[in-house]
Structure 1
Amino acid sequence: MRVLLTTVGSRGDVQPLLALAVRLKAAGHQPRMCVPPDFQDWIGGLGIEVTPIGAAMRKVLGSSPRTSYTPEQLRGMAEAQVAAQFDKIAAAADGCDVIVAASPLLLTARSVAQMRGIGYVFAVYSPNMLPSPHHAPPPMPLPGQLPAPPGADHRELWARDAEKTNTMFRAALNAQRASVGLAALDDVRGHVFTDRPWLHADPTLGPWPEPADQQVFHRHVFQSGAWILPDERPLSPELEAFLDSGEPPVYFGFGSIRVQHDLGQVMVETARALGRRAVVARGWAELTLPDDGSDCIAVGEVNEQALFRRVAAVVHHGGSGTTTSTALAGAPHVVVPQIYDQHYWAGRVEQLGIGVAHAPGVPTADSLTSALKCALQPDVAERARSVAAVVRRDGTQLAVERMTTTDLRA
């Protein structure tokens, strides 16, 4: 089977798809990927064919957002985005049997699959990315979007979400569909999501609501468990020496998101206030240490699976991948959510009793110290270890089995 796996976004969006690609390749299939150019060398180095799509995400996420656009600018942006996606995904899917699209922003993947007469899967990594009466849509403001009215319930919020997607993209998508002989769409989001989406989140960490409630928005949601990329890389000698030289430190990292450059100082101050050492991940924000003290170390790209097993707690932004890696390691969390699905994962961590949800926004040394002090309590650590024992590790295997035994025609 030849499979195109495609998404747009940061590493947290790309790595789960790469995990599935690696599993597909090991099972004798032929995966290829279509993802932002930031990840081309990494994926190609694993022997998987990759085609870049869109702009470099590191540049996009590092730029300042515009606050206002004219209607003409919005229409032009939508037309350009849809046309570029259609051309790029159509070319990358040449000769494939199925397309796996893992972003609500990939509006054209199913249309390409229909044009080619091949299979299509829409997959997400967080339950709150799929419509349900149990949760609101993740906050993802689009240009020109009006705020929701006070007191709006979840159904109304999801209806408004569908409406804004139609307003922004329906005309552009239908123009592309008409150019290849496909019928026009009324509901863009429903078309992209399908009535049988896949959810690659662990069912303990991020459960989909009970089956009876699936009938509200979807005929069926297949939850495979998280798609985890095995990581056998050794830790650096410098980091190994640091870990061996004292009590387990606290890890601080915010992945690919933008944060204030002085947050590294806040992180180290927080650890010191509690008599702890600190490992600070530089991330895309390029965080730095406040001094050259022996109680702290900065790291770049690192094997989180190995590192998190050796820390006292993990302070992070609440991305699905980092949340899962922390849970697998049995380490307590402090989640400081900023955008999109991170608020959902912060809430789940607190509900499970495996960590603390810090208030959204930029933490101070005082606020982060207070949250970390709670997360380091023995009962939280014990609960984190117990949850680690039930987190699934076979999500990619179940996804491959589903892909090879199910009719996926678009």
Structure 2
Amino acid sequence: MRVLLSTYGSREDVEPLVGLAARLRESGAQVRVCAPPDEDFAQRLDHIDVPLVPVGPSARALTVAAPPPSSLPERAAAVIAGQLEAVTAAAEGCDVLVATGMLPAAAGALSVAEKLGIRSVSVTFQQLTLPSPGRPPLAYPGRPFPPEVTDNRVLWGLDAESINALFGAALNTNRASIGLPPVDDVRDYVIGDRPWLATDPVLDPWQQPADLDVVQTGAWILPDRRPLPAGLEAFLAAGAPPVYVGFGSMPMLASQDAAQVAVEAVRAQGRRAVVARGWAGLAPIDDRGDCFVVGEVNQQALFGRVAAVVHHGGAGTTTTATRAGAPQVVVPQTADQPYWAGRVARLGIGVALDGPTPTTESLSAALRTALAPETRVWATAVATMIRTDGAALAAQLLLDAAGR
């Protein structure tokens, strides 16, 4: 069986595909991944001997550039055009295409599958894009919902209208270029009849009753067996467990002194810090020996050995910290991150900061709660409830679908 996994987005969009690709290869399938041409994505796929088919510009460069919301339709048109070109070539001879990532990218990939007559699956790594009567949708930047509208079904109708206004022309122009008919409802087209939700049901429960037949597989995680760097091992062994601080693919544009604030807050608790550079480029604030800076690192191994994890609230980082039983402090920046921050707080396994710009005082207060013994006890208990077979289940479902 040949499978194409297609996405466009940040590390949180690519990393789950690495986990699924590894499982598919173990099952004897041939796998390719269409993703942005960023070096760290290519390295992760190279580690499992899966080829990266580059599509579009660097996700990191686009994120750091922070283009204005008004440019979204133009950027969507370029993303869809890039998908049609790259995915069409990569999908030739494939049996199944898995589409995820930002909505225009998924729409482009699904259009390719439709054109080539390939079975396709639409996947999301957070449930906020799936219409549900139990909660409202996220508003797109620059397109707020009317404050007087509170009925969730009405809000989801407005969400569909907003998506059509932002992406409809771009999608249908590109579809026409390959001989496909126009799509009337872009969101419904992308979600399809039976979308997959690749998140953990404890951390991210899909609520019933719902209007969609959702398949929740559990999170797709590649077991990471890479050793920690020798210098980091020595640092961990030299004292009490430190606090990890890292914001992943977030450039932290609203908080230019993020490293200063975080390290001072950690020191205020009498703790050492492991600071991850990430896309924010966090760096040492002085030459004191109580901080250790890391680049790409095995978070699965590291999070099990820290006192707490301070992060941005991406789906992957949240799941990894939860699986490790590490108390969390979430500093949400955008999109689904406030949702994950809220889930961490509601589960009692950490603290959600209010807003994207932490201060030394707010982060210190959050860390005091996260470092309390009772938070660690509950985080350890919740860790035992998290599924570990999400990628294996998804791989089997794809194999079964291809067999049919």
2:104 alignment counterpart: 105
Deviation at 1:180, TM superposition (A): 3.7
CA RMSD across the alignment: 1.8
Superposition pairs of residues 372-391 of structure 1, within 5 angstroms: 372-391=367-386
Superposition pairs of residues 66-145 of structure 1, within 5 angstroms: 66=68, 68=70, 77-103=75-101, 104-106=103-105, 107-141=107-141, 145=142
1:359 pairs, out of 343, 354, 357, with 354
**Native 8 Å contact 2:196 2:216 kept in 1:** yes
1:54 pairs, out of 46, 53, 56, with 56
Change in Cα spacing, 1:79 to 1:367, as seen in structure 2 (3 Å) is closer
Change in Cα spacing, 1:78 to 1:299, as seen in structure 2 (3 Å) is closer
Aligned residue for 1:111, secondary structure, equals: helix
1:207 alignment counterpart: 205
Instruction: State the AA in 2 paired with 1:361.
Output: P
**Native 8 Å contact 1:119 1:408 kept in 2:** no
1:268 pairs, out of 255, 258, 263, with 263
2:149 alignment counterpart: 152
What TM-score comes out, normalization by structure 1 length?
0.93
Structure 2 residues not aligned, in runs of 5+:
none
Structure 2 residue 394 is the aligned partner of structure 1 residue 395: no
State the Cα deviation string for residues 173-219 of structure 1 (Å, max 9, x = none): 22333344433221111011102000010000001112xx22x2x2x
Partners of 1:108 and 1:67 in 2: how far apart? Answer: 20
1:343 alignment counterpart: 338
Change in Cα spacing, 1:208 to 1:369, as seen in structure 2 (3 Å) is same
**Native 8 Å contact 1:34 1:52 kept in 2:** yes
How many residue pairs match? The answer is 397
Which aligned runs of 4 or more in structure 1 are off by greater than 6 angstroms?
none
**Native 8 Å contact 2:18 2:44 kept in 1:** no
**Native 8 Å contact 1:139 1:339 kept in 2:** no
Partners of 1:195 and 1:68 in 2: how far apart? Answer: 31
State the Cα deviation string for residues 16-58 of structure 1 (Å, max 9, x = none): 0111001000110011000000023432343112210111011
**Native 8 Å contact 1:120 1:408 kept in 2:** no
Partners of 1:80 and 1:268 in 2: how far apart? Answer: 40
Deviation at 1:115, TM superposition (A): 1.2
**Native 8 Å contact 2:24 2:395 kept in 1:** yes
Instruction: State the AA in 2 paired with 1:392.
Output: R
1:237 alignment counterpart: 230
Structure 2 residue 32 is the aligned partner of structure 1 residue 32: yes
Instruction: State the AA in 2 paired with 1:114.
Output: E
Change in Cα spacing, 1:67 to 1:326, as seen in structure 2 (3 Å) is closer
Deviation at 1:407, TM superposition (A): 6.9
Structure 2 residue 294 is the aligned partner of structure 1 residue 299: yes
Partners of 2:321 and 2:290 in 1: how far apart? Answer: 22
Change in Cα spacing, 1:8 to 1:79, as seen in structure 2 (3 Å) is closer
**Native 8 Å contact 1:166 1:188 kept in 2:** yes
State the Cα deviation string for residues 70-103 of structure 1 (Å, max 9, x = none): xxxx765544333222122111111111110112
Partners of 1:244 and 1:364 in 2: how far apart? Answer: 29
2:251 alignment counterpart: 258
Partners of 1:341 and 1:385 in 2: how far apart? Answer: 24
Partners of 1:363 and 1:58 in 2: how far apart? Answer: 23
Partners of 2:239 and 2:77 in 1: how far apart? Answer: 56
Structure 2 residue 216 is the aligned partner of structure 1 residue 223: yes
Q: Percent identity?
A: 52
Aligned residue for 1:183, secondary structure, equals: coil
Change in Cα spacing, 1:270 to 1:139, as seen in structure 2 (3 Å) is farther
Partners of 1:119 and 1:261 in 2: how far apart? Answer: 45
Aligned residue for 1:37, secondary structure, equals: coil
Deviation at 1:138, TM superposition (A): 3.2
What TM-score comes out, normalization by structure 2 length?
0.94
Instruction: State the AA in 2 paired with 1:203.
Output: P
Partners of 2:8 and 2:193 in 1: how far apart? Answer: 22
Partners of 2:76 and 2:364 in 1: how far apart? Answer: 44
Higher mean displacement: 13-22 or 255-264? 255-264
**Native 8 Å contact 2:80 2:104 kept in 1:** no
**Native 8 Å contact 1:267 1:365 kept in 2:** yes
Instruction: State the AA in 1 paired with 2:3.
Output: V
**Native 8 Å contact 2:2 2:93 kept in 1:** yes
